Structure 1
Amino acid sequence: MNTMQTLFDNMAQEQENYREWLLHQSPETILDHAYEYAVREDIMIAFADADFELDQAQVNALLTRRSPLQDILKDYLKLDSDISNTIREVTEERANTILQSYRETPVYLHTYATGQESLYHTSHELNIKCRNAIEQAISDNYQDNRLNTEEAVKEVADIYGYDRPLYVLAVTVRAHLWDGRFGRETKTWAQEAPTAEGGPDVERQYVIEKTHPGLVQMFTSRFREQAREKAAEQIAAIPLNAAAYQELKDGHPGKVAGILTGDYVMFYGEDARAAALALGTKVLNADVPGLGQTETTGSKLNWQSVLKKLMDHNIPVVLAKQDPESGVDSPYLVVKERDTPLPVEELAAQIYDLAAKAMPELTQGSDRDEQISLTTKCLREGDTMDFIYLLVDISNGENQELASQADQLLAQLPDPALLEKDEGYQEL
C-alpha cells in the first residue's frame, strides 16, 4: 500500500472540497481567502513532486488527521515572509509535532473529572486511533497467509510509542478471555495490566474487532517483546554511579534502594524483584554500566506513590537521587527512608508514650487507652500532621535519647504527600 499516495489523495480531496466551498462564497470572502487558496495549491504542487518524500511514521501521523492539508497550512502561515523554510520542512515539522504529541500523551485511566476534561478526551480519541492503526497495520502487512509482524509493530510503535498500544491490546485480550486463539501467557498479562476505572463498559470501544484473533495474538506477542527490548535499552542508557549506588546500599542494609533518575524510580538486582511485586512492574535484564547484566525494574509513578506502594507491602526502603548540579559522578542523597512499618496500634502507643515522657503536660490527666485509640483512628485515616509536628518538636529538643526515638517514629508515619493519586499507565 502506497501510503504517500493515499495521503496525497486525501489532501487533494480536501483541497477540492475547499475549492467547492469557496466558489459558493461572496466575492469579498473569495478575495479574503485568495492567498490561503494559493498556498494550499503550492502545497499540493510540492507533494506532487516525485522527489517530495516523508518517512513512513510522518506519513502515518498525517494520515491520522482529519485535515492534513489544513494542518500544514496553519504551520506554513506562521512563518515570516523572509524565512526560507520550504513546504517540505514545514510538513516534516508538523508531522513530528503530531508524533511527539501522540507518544507523550499519557493513557488516561480515570473517569471523566473536572479539570481533566482535555486529557480525558484526548486520550479517548488516541485510544480509538491506536486501535484503528493496529487493525490497519496488521491488514497492510498480512500477505500470502503470513503476517510481517516486525513491520506491523514498527508502524504502530513509530506513531504511538508503546504504552497506548499495550493498553489497547490488553483491553482486546481481556474482552476475549474465552477465545483459545489467545495464549495463556497473553491472557495472564492482559488480566494483570492496568484497567480503566469504568471497566469493560468504558474499554469495549477500544477492543480490536476487525482483525482475526490469531493475528492479534501474533502482533501482541511481538509488540510486548519489542516493548521489553526497548525498555531494557532505555534502562541501560540511564546513568548510574555504580560506586555511589553500592555505598547507598552498604549504608542502608536490609532496605530496598530506589534511585530517582529522569522519568523513573529505578531498582536493581534483588531489590528489583522485591519492588516489582509491590509496584506491579516487570523485571528486565539490562546491561547496566558498572553493574553488568542486572535485573532491573522501574516505575514512572512519582516517588511518593512508589514509596507508599512499597510501604503497603511492608518493604523497608530508601529512595535517593543525585544533586543535578553535581553531575553523574556525585553521591546519592537520601530523599526518603522508611523502615518496615509497625502495626498501627503499636505506632499509636509509642507516639503516646513518647509524648508522655517528653511533654507530660500534653498527656496529664488523659486516659492512655482512649488516647491511643483516637491516635490509631487518625493514623488509619491519614490524619497525621498533628503527630508529625509533635515528633518534630521532640526531635529538636535537648534530650538526645527522646529525639532519637522521635526520629524513628517520624520515619514510620505515613506522610500526607504519600496519599497522592497515581496517574498514568506503566508497563515496566
Structure 2
Amino acid sequence: MDAEKLNQALYDKMAAEQERFKHGLLGMTAEEALNHAYEYAMREDILMSLEVQDLPAPQAAALLESPCPLADIYKDFRDMETGHMDNIRECIEDRAESLMEAQRETAPIIPIYPHTGEYAREHGELDAFLASLETNVACRDAIETAIGEGFDGMSLHADTKGVLAVFGAERVSHVLAATLQGIRNDPRVSSGNQAWAATVPMFDTVSRHRDYLITSHPGVLSIFVTQTRKEMDAMQKQTEKKPSIKAQLAAKPVPGDQPAAKPKDREVR
C-alpha cells in the first residue's frame, strides 16, 4: 500500500476512534464529561494535524498497527513538557497591557493645582487642590512600585513609560523634583538631577510636599529620574516632529486654489 492510502487509512481509523470517544462522553453526566474536555479538544487537534500532514509510509503503517493510535499519540502529547501554560500567561499579560493602554488613553489627566492649599481654601477651589494632592500621592506610589519591580539589586529597568502615560510628564516631574529638592544635599543623587529638580516650580509649602515624597533608595531613585528625563526628552522630540493639525491643514491645497493645468500641445498630424 502506498503512503497516500496508508495515511488515509490511518486518518479513518483515528477518526472512528475519536467518534467512539465522543459517543462515550455523550453518555456521561455534564460534570463527568467536563473532566475530559481538554482531552477531547487535544484529540481533535491531533486529527486536524493528521488531516494535512503526510506521514512517510513506514510511519503510517506502524501507527496503523496500534489498536488505538489516537489515544497513544494523545498520551505522548500529554506527557510532553510544552510552553502551553507560558503561552497562556503571556496572552493574559498582553491582554491586560492592551486594556491598560486603552484606559490610559481615555482617562483624563488631572492638572496640577498651581497654588497653595490656603489659596485654594480662600478661593473656593479646595476640591481641585485635594484632587491634585491625591493624584500626587498616587503618582508617588506608582513610581515606588515601578522602582521596586524594576530594580534587581544591580540595575534598574523600570516602566518609566507606563508611569508617564498614566500621570503625564508634568505630574511625574513635579513629584520627582519635590522629592529631590527635599534631599538636595544627598550625594547619592547626581548633580545633574539635583540641578534639574531645582528648575521645577513648586506651588505649595514644603510640609505639604512631604505627603507625596518618594521613599525609595536615593541612589536608585536618581537612576529612575535619569531614565524618566530621557523618556520625556524622547517624547518631546516625537511631539516636535509630528506636525500639528493646523500645520497639516495648511499644507493641504484648498480645492479650487490650484493653478489650472497647462493645456497639452496638440499633436501635429
- As a proportion of its length, which structure holds more helix? 2
Match of 2:166 in 1: 159
Does residue 131 (structure 1) correspond to residue 114 (structure 2)? The answer is no
What is the alpha-carbon distance in structure 2 between the residues aligned to residue 221 and residue 57 of structure 1?
27
Question: SS state of the match for residue 110, structure 1?
Answer: coil
Number of equivalences = 159
Q: 1:221 to 1:121 in 2, by over 3 A?
A: same
Q: What residue ranges of structure 1 are gaps of 5+ in the alignment?
A: 1-48, 62-91, 240-261, 263-321, 331-428
Match of 2:59 in 1: none
Q: What residue ranges of structure 2 are gaps of 5+ in the alignment?
A: 1-87, 253-269
What is the alpha-carbon distance in structure 2 between the residues aligned to residue 121 and residue 235 of structure 1?
33
Residue of structure 2 aligned with 1:201, choices 203, 207, 216: 207
Residue of structure 1 aligned with 2:184, choices 161, 177, 184: 177
Match of 1:215 in 2: 220
Cα shift at 1:144 = 4.2
Question: SS state of the match for residue 162, structure 1?
Answer: helix
What is the alpha-carbon distance in structure 1 between the residues aligned to residue 160 and residue 98 of structure 2?
12
Question: SS state of the match for residue 105, structure 1?
Answer: coil
Question: SS state of the match for residue 178, structure 1?
Answer: coil
Identity of aligned residues (%): 25
Q: Deviations over 1:355-375 (max 9, x none)?
A: xxxxxxxxxxxxxxxxxxxxx
What is the alpha-carbon distance in structure 2 between the residues aligned to residue 213 and residue 168 of structure 1?
14
Whether the 8 Å CA contact 2:104–2:165 is kept in 1: the answer is: no
Q: Deviations over 1:253-295 (max 9, x none)?
A: xxxxxxxxx7xxxxxxxxxxxxxxxxxxxxxxxxxxxxxxxxx
Match of 2:238 in 1: 233
Q: Which structure: larger Rg? A: 2
What is the alpha-carbon distance in structure 1 between the residues aligned to residue 228 and residue 193 of structure 2?
12
What is the alpha-carbon distance in structure 2 between the residues aligned to residue 96 and residue 185 of structure 1?
30
Match of 1:118 in 2: 127
Residue of structure 1 aligned with 2:110, choices 94, 101, 105: 105
Report the TM-score when normalising by structure 2: 0.52
Whether the 8 Å CA contact 2:161–2:231 is kept in 1: the answer is: no
What is the alpha-carbon distance in structure 1 between the residues aligned to residue 229 and residue 104 of structure 2?
25
Match of 1:385 in 2: none
Q: 1:221 to 1:57 in 2, by over 3 A?
A: farther
What is the alpha-carbon distance in structure 2 between the residues aligned to residue 228 and residue 219 of structure 1?
14
Cα shift at 1:215 = 0.6
What is the alpha-carbon distance in structure 1 between the residues aligned to residue 194 and residue 229 of structure 2?
13
What is the alpha-carbon distance in structure 1 between the residues aligned to residue 138 and residue 201 of structure 2?
19
What is the alpha-carbon distance in structure 1 between the residues aligned to residue 209 and residue 196 of structure 2?
17
- Structure 1 runs of 4+ aligned residues shifted over 4 Å read 49-53
Cα shift at 1:158 = 2.8
Match of 1:142 in 2: 151
Within 5 A, what are the aligned runs for 1:284-363? 327-329=249-251
Whether the 8 Å CA contact 1:181–1:213 is kept in 2: the answer is: yes
Match of 1:189 in 2: 196
Q: 1:58 to 1:135 in 2, by over 3 A?
A: farther
Whether the 8 Å CA contact 2:113–2:128 is kept in 1: the answer is: yes
Q: 1:52 to 1:137 in 2, by over 3 A?
A: closer
Report the TM-score when normalising by structure 1: 0.34
What is the alpha-carbon distance in structure 2 between the residues aligned to residue 165 and residue 202 of structure 1?
17
Root mean square deviation of aligned Cα: 2.8
Match of 1:56 in 2: 97
One-letter code aligned to 1:328: A
Q: Deviations over 1:68-124 (max 9, x none)?
A: xxxxxxxxxxxxxxxxxxxxxxxx6xx447x622xx211112123234233212111
